Chains A and B, each alone.
Chain A
């Protein structure tokens, strides 16, 4: 019965996925909430599933501290400075929650400052609070702390891009089932964690390949108890390489595990992005 139900949901999502392709071009307006149909396959799980990746964002307060030039000419080297209070969210919903290797929801609320000058690049830093959960809601937690992001376009070659995003903050494990099992208690203490993400994108002009993208995410608990280390819950990392092909096709390969992934495995993902209005 459960298998039949999952099959029905999968078929419904597949129809939705196909129907999205037939949508007409959208009008020119900003997208506050976006969804992208995708296909997920986890190597060690019971099979693949269709799903939807989504993201949303907005600003609650914005104050500019940019350089004020009075001339009529445009200075592309102008210093840019801003202070912003904003929110954003992202996640993946799968037809089968058991087969969803990605986080169901990551919600971020932050107060940050920006500083951008041509030679140095762009720096972003500030305070943040984040909530994340898997699709079953068995594992969920809140995080807050400090974060900083640096990026530079044309860093090593024409039109490449490199970025490093680092966050350090306190984690509230709440319903982290794996942590409860490792520590043998339902009363979990708060802990601090590093989260680092690296991105490098390099455009190429090969016959079949037009872009190569590398992404690496690393999580490390600060001062983790021995039981957490023994259960390999103190460090997580995942690396992804994506090769962009002609005709908007791509191949992406991920190895590793995010803090709330249900499977420690390699993920092959094939998909495309369209917008639902």
Chain B
């Protein structure tokens, strides 16, 4: 079943960490409100390079921003691992989404939710 963009903590956390001035600050909430964020492609965000398609640089960048993304989530929300995988595997899984500019914010929330257990999950 396709992942649904809704007001659960996984989607809200993904949105807030991407948008918040104190977090990754990738866009303004006035430009991209929560309801419309799910369709926004990651390549349109500030972090994604527009002057190069060098796959090595994009790969390095993706690992770096994935680590920051998780760091903000761990600091802000009470979360645990969703599965029996390592923290490095979670960083890698999220980095792969950040590396693909054609993926959307909803895709990022889906992978985050698949790897991170948020407080509203049993």
Seen from chain A, the residues whose Cβ lies within 8 Å of a Cβ on chain B are: 25-31, 34, 53, 55, 57, 64, 66-69, 72-82, 88, 90, 108, 112, 114, 116, 118, 121-124, 147, 149-154, 158-159, 161, 163, 165, 197, 199, 201, 203, 210-211, 213-215, 240-242, 244, 248, 250, 252, 273, 275
Whether B54 contacts A122 by the Cβ 8 Å rule is no
CB distance from A251 to the nearest CB of B (A): 11
In the docked arrangement, what's the CA distance between A27 and B56, Å? 26
Whether B43 contacts A273 by the Cβ 8 Å rule is yes
Mark interface residues in B7-35 (1 if CB within 8 Å of A CB, else 0).
00000000000000000111000000000
In the docked arrangement, what's the CA distance between A88 and B112, Å? 26
**A252 / chain B contacts, CB cutoff of 8 Å:** 50-51
CB distance from B52 to the nearest CB of A (A): 5
**A74 / chain B contacts, CB cutoff of 8 Å:** 70, 74, 79-81, 87, 90, 116
In the docked arrangement, what's the CA distance between A158 and B47, Å? 11
B64 interface residue per 8 A CB criterion? yes
**A90 / chain B contacts, CB cutoff of 8 Å:** 53, 55
Other-chain contact of A199, B39, B43, B49 (Cβ < 8 Å):
B49
| Most chain B beta carbons < 10 A, residue from A73, A77, A163, A241 | A163
Whether A151 contacts B49 by the Cβ 8 Å rule is no
In the docked arrangement, what's the CA distance between A248 and B48, Å? 13
**B46 / chain A contacts, CB cutoff of 8 Å:** 159, 201, 203, 210-211, 244
Interface size class of B (residues with CB under 8 A): 35 or more
In the docked arrangement, what's the CA distance between A28 and B37, Å? 13
Smallest CB-CB separation from A33: which chain B residue?
A: B102
Closest 5 CB pairs of A and B: A66-B88, A31-B102, A151-B60, A153-B64, A215-B51
**A199 / chain B contacts, CB cutoff of 8 Å:** 49, 51-52, 54, 57
Whether B87 contacts A78 by the Cβ 8 Å rule is yes
Seen from chain B, the residues whose Cβ lies within 8 Å of a Cβ on chain A are: 2-3, 24-26, 39, 41, 43-44, 46-47, 49-57, 59-61, 63-65, 67-68, 70-71, 74, 79-81, 86-92, 100-104, 106-107, 110, 116
Whether B102 contacts A78 by the Cβ 8 Å rule is no
CB distance from B54 to the nearest CB of A (A): 6
Whether A28 contacts B110 by the Cβ 8 Å rule is yes
Other-chain contact of A248, B24, B44, B71, B92 (Cβ < 8 Å):
B44
In the docked arrangement, what's the CA distance between A123 and B101, Å? 21
Given contacts A72-B81, A74-B116, A76-B70, contact A163 B60 (CB under 8 A): yes
**B2 / chain A contacts, CB cutoff of 8 Å:** 27-28
In the docked arrangement, what's the CA distance between A193 and B108, Å? 39
Other-chain contact of B68, A66, A78, A153, A242 (Cβ < 8 Å):
A153
Whether A57 contacts B60 by the Cβ 8 Å rule is no
Whether B39 contacts A25 by the Cβ 8 Å rule is yes
**B91 / chain A contacts, CB cutoff of 8 Å:** 76, 78, 80, 116
